[in-house]
Chain A
Amino acid sequence: LAKTTQPISMDSYEGQEVNITCSHNNIATNDYITWYQQFPSQGPRFIIQGYKTKVTNEVASLFIPADRKSSTLSLPRVSLSDTAVYYCLVGEPRTMNRDDKIIFGKGTRLHILP
């Protein structure tokens, strides 16, 4: 599994767009990039997943450059309730009989200020 590097923490203000970048220099050809959100004392919640270029859903956008060595999670117009830890994962989904382990890094602690 490709190792990921994210900023430890970020602060932003309500109403702003927040971009969290994840580095994954040794991403493999079949790897996908997945982001999770976790609130205190809750399990992580899937946000978005992508392979290349741009993916958008009702919650966020995921930008992946051509070399795929990094990705950026974009949260539009954040609110106080977006304060959480955000995890970036890189790996090959939906493959059985692999020895890879699903690894979460330390994540990025996002703090939204009023």
Chain B
Amino acid sequence: KAGVTQTPRYLIKTRGQQVTLSCSPISGHRSVSWYQQTPGQGLQFLFEYFSETQRNKGNFPGRFSGRQFSNSRSEMNVSTLELGDSALYLCASSPQSQGNEQFFGPGTRLTVL
């Protein structure tokens, strides 16, 4: 089975711009979670989608949003980028919602200048 894929792998943006990241889960997995990882804050949960519905949300501002499509692929959008949004954004899929065993993608490294 192919693993979780994320595109793009690297991205450079400037402050004020918006960005969309994409995640394709493992075939058959219906849950997709997004995380932000920075050296200072560690791995922080953004949100989880299951069957096109947002199940859970972390403590991030409304500039961070996401959606999931009928094929379970998910996108994450960050609007009005700030310097502090520079991070590794990780996507993880799981067969079911709230699954502790998650399968992570390689991440998208976002740099905001």
B98 adjacent to A95 (CB under 8 Å): yes
Q: Which residues on B sit within 8 Å (CB–CB) of A89?
A: 100
Q: SS class of chain A's interface: helix, strand, loop or mixed?
A: loop
A100, closest chain B residue (CB): B98
B100 adjacent to A91 (CB under 8 Å): yes
User: In the bound complex, what is the Cα–Cα distance between A42 and B44 (angstroms)?
Assistant: 15
Q: Which residues on A sit within 8 Å (CB–CB) of B107?
A: 41-43
Contact of A42 among B48, B56, B101, B106 (CB under 8 A): B106
The 8 A CB mask of A77-111 against B (1 = contact, 0 = none) is 00000000001010111111111111111110000
Interface size class, chain A: 20 to 34
B43, closest chain A residue (CB): A104
A93 adjacent to B100 (CB under 8 Å): yes
Interface size class, chain B: 20 to 34
User: In the bound complex, what is the Cα–Cα distance between A35 and B43 (angstroms)?
Assistant: 14
Interchain nearest-CB distance for A48 vs B (Å): 10
A90, closest chain B residue (CB): B100
Q: Which residues on A sit within 8 Å (CB–CB) of B44?
A: 104
B binding-site residues for A, Cβ under 8 Å: 4, 33, 35, 42-45, 48, 50, 55-58, 88, 90-92, 96-107, 109
Q: Apart from A87-B43, A97-B97, what are 19 other A-B pairs with CB-CB below 8 Å?
A: A32-B100, A41-B109, A43-B4, A43-B91, A43-B92, A43-B104, A44-B104, A49-B101, A93-B100, A93-B101, A96-B50, A96-B96, A96-B97, A100-B56, A100-B98, A101-B58, A102-B33, A105-B42, A107-B42
A binding-site residues for B, Cβ under 8 Å: 32, 34, 38, 41-46, 49, 87, 89, 91-107
- Identify the 3 closest CB pairs spanning chains A and B, nearest first: A43-B104, A93-B100, A104-B43
- 29 A-B contact pairs sorted by A residue (CB < 8 Å): A41-B106, A41-B107, A41-B109, A42-B107, A43-B90, A43-B92, A43-B105, A44-B104, A46-B101, A46-B102, A49-B100, A49-B101, A87-B43, A91-B98, A92-B98, A93-B98, A96-B96, A96-B97, A96-B98, A99-B56, A100-B98, A102-B33, A102-B100, A103-B45, A104-B42, A104-B44, A104-B45, A107-B42, A107-B43
